[in-house]
Amino acid sequence: MIRIGFVTCVQLGLSCMEALYEAGGQLSFAMTLEDDQAVNKSGRVYLDEFCAERDIPLQKSRHVNNQDVIDAIGEYQLDWLFIIGWSQIASSQVLNAPKRGVLGMHPTLLPTGRGRAAIPWAILKGLDKTGVTLFKLDTGVDTGPIVDQVEIPLSTSTDAGMLYDLVDEAHVALMKKVVPALMADELVLREQVDRLATEWPGRKPEDGEINLSGSVYDAERLVRAVTRPYPGAFALVDGKRYVIWRAEISDIDDGSFGLQFADGFLKALEYEVVA
């Protein structure tokens, strides 16, 4: 029997654990943070109830690279270990601890979009699709061999909030898709084609500033790309900072608040003025 472990501390990871069981899989081990860690982290969850109901041994540790975690992976003789929704970088010792390796997910269609800020960049780049990739972790950044992918179509109205939800749904769908092959020890991995790889850098809140000398189309795309749950696009007008959460391109200025560009008017549908 293939023995699988899971590392997470957020709702997305728990949803993937639930999907694994719904698809007929089972876990031999789970690891999460200590109860007093990351209490304000977005989506923070506790695995105690889920694991108790399914008789899954649950290890709590302050870091995934701690020796107690590595020892537990060996003790439970894990073949595969999932790490999903986890901010700590796994060491090579952890990556080599399970017999077959460690699996993770990345919210792009690798090798496109290695790196950071996958949701904003997919919108900013005007892609017609993105997705989620399940792959085997190695010591590189999103460079390991691919297990499978789920595509997510994008439109000119897709914003970050919509895509965030779609990415979560794709994680669950991908988990259900691969569980039968995983449990049957029939996973087929394919190497990424490095010459096709692109790398997306991290983004900061100040990257959300709208270029008032640029195009209205770029500004509208930026608003969609960094709206909630991200910090939002903003413009400095008459000494005030306007954060624009939703906007649309209009041919005319109808008197409502918006931004005038050389190629059009950006009408703010939802915005706030911050100090």
| Domain residue limits, the chain | 4-200, 205-274
CB atoms within 10 A of CB 233: 26
- Confidence bin at 201 (pLDDT 50/70/90): very high
Q: What is the pLDDT of residues 98-115, one digit of tens each?
A: 999 999 999 999 999 999
Phi/psi of residue 112, nearest 5 degrees: -70, 135
pLDDT in tens, 56-98: 999 999 999 999 999 999 999 999 999 999 999 999 999 999 9
**Considering the chain, what percentage of its residues have pLDDT values greater than 90?**
95
State both tokens at 73. 């992976």
pLDDT attached to residue 173: 98
pLDDT for the residue numbered 88: 94
* Side-chain half-sphere exposure of 249, counting CA atoms within 13 A: 15
For residues 215 and 212, give the distance between their C-alpha atoms in angstroms, rounded to a whole number. Answer: 8
Q: Could you give the CA distance from residue 275 to residue 264 in angstroms, rounded to a whole number?
A: 27
Residue with tokens 């108790």: 52
pLDDT at 256: 85
Residue 4: pLDDT band with limits 50, 70, 90: very high
What is the structure's pLDDT at 129?
Answer: 98
What letter would DSSP give residue 3?
Answer: -
Average pLDDT over residues 34-48: 95
DSSP code, position 195:
G
Q: Has residue 53 got a pLDDT over 90?
A: yes
CATH architecture of 4-200: 3-Layer(aba) Sandwich (3.40)
User: Sorting pLDDT into bands at 50, 70 and 90, what band is 191?
Assistant: very high
pLDDT tier for residue 244 given thresholds of 50, 70 and 90? very high
Q: Report the CATH fold assignment for 205-274.
A: Methionyl-tRNA Fmet Formyltransferase; Chain A, domain 2 (3.10.25)
Q: Do domains 4-200 and 205-274 have the same CATH topology?
A: no
- pLDDT band for 255, please (50, 70, 90 cuts): confident
- Say if residue 203's pLDDT is above 80: yes
Q: Of all residues in the chain, what percent carry a pLDDT higher than 70?
A: 100
> What is the chain's mean pLDDT, rounded?
96
Amino acid 178: pLDDT = 98
Q: Does residue 54 carry a pLDDT above 80?
A: yes
Residues 6+ apart with CB under 8 A from 24: 179, 180, 183
pLDDT in tens, 152-168: 999 999 999 999 999 99
pTM for the whole structure? 0.94
Instruction: For residue 44, give the DSSP letter.
Output: B
Give the span between the Cα atoms of 81 and 57, in whole angstroms: 14
Residue 31 pLDDT > 80: yes
- Return the higher-pLDDT residue of 259 and 42: 259
Rg (CA), the chain: 21
